[in-house]
Structure 1
């Protein structure tokens, strides 16, 4: 079975990582999602973050943090997720919009609140020195 291929924004503030809960989901995910046909990573991620959090990502600070693979959660058509993780500055005030019901910052002690791919992204952020 093919992996679900997505992009995600890793944003850390005060030693906590930003996560979102989509409507009807039990666990938290990272802002981001699937590419639409013809979209590159930047286009897909900036669109998804705009739709989910009403923010504009900063193209000049956009950089890849790494790629993780983890078990897919609440995705019946997929066993695993391949998530390309990126960091970027932003402009605007964070607001839950579109299909996002809430956003919150999660520390290492709250990793059980995260879907498996988001847990792997949290570990990646720790490995890259963004979180302690």
Structure 2
């Protein structure tokens, strides 16, 4: 049975485009977020990861769950399954790539092939709802 990688992601869409980030040393973009540490809740993981990656603070009272997706990723060891719990939320501060992020970009649906399989499921839902152009 493939390993399960449990992640939390921040869905930030502006002008029909979604914010994505490429970690230093990687050639793929991801929805910002990451793996929980220890017994962290989804909210705690979201707040920590977004602050670490994009130097902004998510406003906890504005956070809303938008969906949880699972997909196998053959590029990961043993074809691991990635579970991504997705949340929206307002933020304070200025978006900027941290030391661990090489590049930030705003993607449209046309950029879907540049993100991992689990992120593509989110792209599909956002496109279907008219949120992502």
Structure 1 equivalent of residue 105 of structure 2: 104
Structure 2 equivalent of residue 16 of structure 1: 17
Structure 1 equivalent of residue 132 of structure 2: 131
**Is the 1:72–1:79 Cα contact (8 Å) retained in structure 2?**
yes
Structure 2 equivalent of residue 7 of structure 1: 8
Within 5 Å, give how 1:1-132 maps onto structure 2. Answer: 1-72=2-73, 74-76=75-77, 79-132=80-133
TM-score of the two chains, using structure 2 as the length reference: 0.91
Determine helix, strand or coil for the equivalent of 1:50. Answer: helix
C-alpha distance in 2, partners of 1:68/1:102? 24
Consecutive unaligned residues of structure 1, counting only runs of 5 or more, are none
C-alpha displacement of 1:129: 4.3
Consecutive unaligned residues of structure 2, counting only runs of 5 or more, are none
TM-score of the two chains, using structure 1 as the length reference: 0.91
C-alpha distance in 2, partners of 1:98/1:39? 23
RMSD: 1.6
Which deviates the most, 25-34 or 47-56? 25-34
**Is the 1:20–1:100 Cα contact (8 Å) retained in structure 2?**
yes
C-alpha distance in 2, partners of 1:62/1:113? 26
